[in-house]
Structure 1
Amino acid sequence: MTRRQVAPEHWRPEQKLKRLHTKIAFDSERIYFRFRWTQPNPGGWLHDMLVYRDGKWTQFANPSPWVGEGDTPEHTGFYEDRVSFLLDDGSVKGFEEFGGWLTVHTGMRSMPSEVPEAAVRSHDHFGADGLDKTDIRKFIPQACTGDWWENDWRTVRSEAELEELKQNGVFLDLPMWRAHRSNPKGYGTDHHVLDYRHGDQGRNTYTTQEWDPEDGPEYMWDPDVVDGGALDYHEIREGNFPDQQDGTYALEMEDAVPFDPDVAEREGAMIPRRPLREPYGSAADWRGTGVWNDGEWIVEMWRDLQTDHPTDTKQLERGETYTWTPAVHHGAGKRWHWVAYPYKLGLGIEPDYTGEQHAHGTTELIAEEFTGDEPNWDEISTYTVPLVFPGVMDWTALTSDHSRAEAIRNAEITMWELYEKDPASFLE
């Protein structure tokens, strides 16, 4: 049955508040995170599929079948579940107070003010002669000229100035665990935010195969791995998902063969658009593994405290304090996620954070030191971090239209104080 389409900017999750149960541990070499959160909808390990339907290949990227408000939208996609966080060592002014809201601006993709592709393509820095992008994504205001809080994407600093900021650590670390695009390889993906949300140096866990509605994709599964070279969309749409732990649902390059329409071109044939590969370099700093079971994700992520790439990864040390803010993503891309206010994270020490007075729980987290080969999670404290759906509130509005804009510009107030008591009050 065909149902009405709902524009992405109008999608709203039924659940406005999530709770992310978090444990953090470290030893002399590595830091470890363990995340647990409820997600009753199965199939969050499937992502961005090419489906043969009505005589042509179609990209099914979003929304997932459980995304929508009111009347369910026509199903047009699969989008993986993810957990991510922003991390800073004090180098980015305003992040301690405002967390992820510092990175969201007028003109970004998926915002009502989204910059048209033509305007991005014609820009000296973001366009074809620069980064070669088609949209504007997360950035920090320090990447733009003017006062520290000013954030017009059209006034981005020169390449030389941006490189100097990177050398001085003025960027945000952004690792992410992806249920489809990284978990089968045992890794996360690693990014950093300055003028854009950049991938770290090296190669991440996935690539993108070319495809054409008439000719189909470049690759399919080896029929010895998946019968007929493709999954069956109709089976999966009925809820018969490949097992997340033992089934085949990700197309790994070692299992891929050139697409053969005589084998895999049939109604409902489904092949991932994003084949997986072995990562390397700074992009492969984070290892990760996650399991969905009975409506709940449990994800572990870990990396070395010190890495070989300090210009895109925050270096960590025992006895130091960092600002940390996590997010959980579900069922769609872009702003379809739940985010936390900023927290202070101490490695083996108790941090001090001025935002604590309006939190129901602590805003000061301690990564606990352990001995042995890996953390004994039963002995590590659990922090329950509330996450809210952020809507379309952005840094531009906070620093210009908000009733406390002057205090925000002076970094004299935190997100906790702006909305007081419980993060859920942000939604009122």
Structure 2
Amino acid sequence: MGSNWMPADAEKQLRTRAAHDGERLHFQFRWDQPDPGGWIHDMLVYHEGEWRQFATPSPWVSGDDEHTGFYEDRLSFFLDDGTVRGFEEFAGWLTAHEGMRSLPSAAAPDEVEAHPHYGERLEKSDIQKFLPQACAGEWWEGDWREVRPPGELRAMKRRGEFLDLPMWRAHRSDPVGFGTDAYVLDYRHADDGRRTYTSQNWDAGSGPELMFDPDVVNGGALDYHAVSNGEFPTQGSGTYALTPDVTVPFDRNVAEWEGAMIPRRPLREPTGSAADWTASGTWTGEEWVVKMSRQLSTTDPSDTTQLTPGEVYLWAPAVHHGAGKRWHWTGYTHRLGLGVTPERRADLPPPLTAHKVDPAPTAAAVDWDALPTHTTPLVFPGIQSWTDLVEGPNADAVRNLETTMWALHGRAED
């Protein structure tokens, strides 16, 4: 995909219901998605005598007859208690900066690896989402080369100056019944604990470490040619992910055949703060219906926004389909009230209320049909970044927080 590539639909409508029972926050999300196969992700395929990685993007994204990749569908959202300056006005645009991966200005891997913080301390080779406040200078500058010292970043984290980032993943988390959890400060960091997926080692000659149990999946692998022709394993009840109950060591005598396809990402049950969110999704043939739930108060407030009934928080959702990184539809910041209706600002979208319900141990236990639906637009952001906003024609208004992304997109008149 080139930098000028655009999806067929520049906007999606996200239909959200929210609830809390005094102990847990629950969400139900729905959005139209007619393309099947969004639960297939990042596969290793035996092709013409060697193993190859067939990853991003999915065929309906690239439009390429010679496509090979598969990438899962995802839903994510930022959550904040009002501590992060500029988030209410600019949502996820606040976290995308010059130098970030997938932008034309993406920093070269060797430049990142040579950086004392990103390369030497974090052992990264790319720049991902970060807050401009994590960098020296004016609060809005956001030059990753001038990231603050570790002590200052730790102090920001203790003060709650980060964006909580839960995510439902159709392949890498859904089959084990959880979401994944991260936070954005100087980088997009995973929460403490063990997340739902890892990566198996592999090479072109010897293949992967793991495969499907051949008693469960014939031949120990999916058939790439069948899947490419649209014969997808049934979402939710089919076998398409390396969950612990169907995974065995790789045996080339069983699973090395033309078109044999094995996920690169084995799954596992998460632990610690990484396991805060339970999540499940169902593809109906026309739309995704995703439910997510977590405790209001968690065991690790250092990387998770703590929630209290009667208070108002900030929430901004996004949806990925068929590809990662900047190929997504992103939402504006909404005020989210837990049992209360937040005051509406004219330059922000309508607020969302998490209605009080009877005790519900999971999101599936909530009577969703009894709750109103909040519909909000998600837009394709292209390659526009925070850097473009603070250096563009509306720079002064953006830097002084005298406008919002909702207003800049002409929606304040709606």
If the length of structure 2 is used for normalisation, what is the TM-score? 0.96
User: Among residues 346, 357, 360, which one is paired with 1:370 in the alignment?
Assistant: 357
Render the CA deviation track for 1:140-174: whole Å, top value 9, x for unaligned: 01110111111000001111110000000000000
Secondary structure of 1:160 counterpart: helix
The separation in 2 between residues aligned to 1:415 and 1:186, in whole angstroms, is 34
Residue in structure 2 matched with residue 22 of structure 1 by the alignment? 16
- The alignment status of 1:325 with 2:316, answered yes or no, reads yes
1:113 corresponds to: 105
1:420 aligns with one of 397, 402, 410: 410
Q: Could you tell me which residue of structure 2 aligns to residue 131 of structure 1?
A: 122
Cross-structure match for 1:232: 223
Note the alpha carbon deviations across 1:58-111, whole angstroms, 9 max, x for none: 11111111112xx53521211000100001101100001111100000000000
Cα distance between partner residues in 1 of 2:133 and 2:240:
41
Q: Could you tell me how far 1:10 is from its partner in structure 2?
A: 4.2
The separation in 2 between residues aligned to 1:320 and 1:27, in whole angstroms, is: 14
Of 303, 316, 325, 1:334 maps to 325
Task: Name the TM-score, length of structure 1 as normaliser.
Answer: 0.93
The match for 2:71 is: 79
* Separation of aligned partners in 2, 1:394 and 1:73: 31
Q: How big is the shift at 1:269?
A: 0.3
**Aligned-partner SS, 2:128:** coil
Matched residue of 1:166: which SS? Answer: helix
What SS does the corresponding residue of 1:66 show, helix, strand or coil?
A: helix
Q: Which residue identity does 2:31 align to in structure 1?
A: W
- 2:277 pairs with one of 282, 286, 292: 286
Contact 1:84-1:327 at 8 Å conserved across structures: yes
Q: Secondary structure at the match of 1:350?
A: coil
Any idea what the Cα deviations from partners look like across 1:102-147, whole Å, max 9, x if unmatched? 00000000001011111111110011x2101111000001110111
User: How much has 1:221 moved relative to structure 2?
Assistant: 1.2
- Which residue identity lines up with residue 237 of structure 2 in the other structure? D
Secondary structure of the residue aligned to 2:181 is strand
Between stretches 49-58 and 251-260, larger displacement belongs to: 251-260
Runs of 4+ in structure 1 off by over 6 angstroms are none
SS at match of 1:76: coil
Aligned partner of 2:53 in structure 1 is 59
Whole-Å Cα distance in 1 between the matches of residues 37 and 261 of structure 2? 15
Q: 2:336 aligns with which of 330, 338, 345?
A: 345
Gap regions ≥5 residues in structure 1 = 1-5
Matches within 5 A, 1:293-312: 293-312=284-303
Once residues 422 and 39 of structure 1 are traced to their aligned partners in structure 2, the CA distance between those partners, rounded to angstroms, is: 28
Aligned length: 410
Deviation at 1:422, TM superposition (A): 7.1
Equivalence map 1:171-190=2 (5 Å): 171-190=162-181
Work out whether residues 11 and 67 of structure 1, in 8 Å CA contact, stay in contact via their aligned partners in 2.
no
- Identical columns (%): 58
Structure 2, unpaired ranges of 5+: none
Correspondence for 2:114 = 122
For residues 340 and 238 of structure 2, what CA distance do their matches in structure 1 show? Answer: 42
Give CA-to-partner distance per residue, 1:246-268, whole Å, 9 cap, x none.
21000113422221111111100
For structure 1, which segment, 246-255 or 385-394, has the greater mean C-alpha deviation from structure 2 after superposition? 246-255
Cα RMSD between the aligned structures?
A: 1.4
Task: Say which is worse superposed, 247-256 or 180-189, in terms of deviation.
Answer: 247-256
Equivalent-residue separation in structure 1 for 2:302 and 2:237 (angstroms): 38
Distance 1:221 1:165 in 2: 44
Helix, strand or coil at the partner of 1:297: strand
Conserved in 2, the CA contact under 8 Å of 1:48 and 1:273?
Answer: yes
How big is the shift at 1:353? 4.1
> Deviation per CA, 1:367-407, whole angstroms, max 9, x where unpaired?
1101143321111110001000001110011001x211111
Equivalent residue in structure 2 for 1:409, among 381, 399, 402: 399
Amino acid at match of 1:46: I
> Which amino acid in 1 is paired with 2:59?
P
The amino acid that maps onto 1:346 is G
> Is this contact kept in 2: 1:102–1:141, CA < 8 A?
yes
Q: Hey, what does 1:242 align to over in structure 2?
A: 233
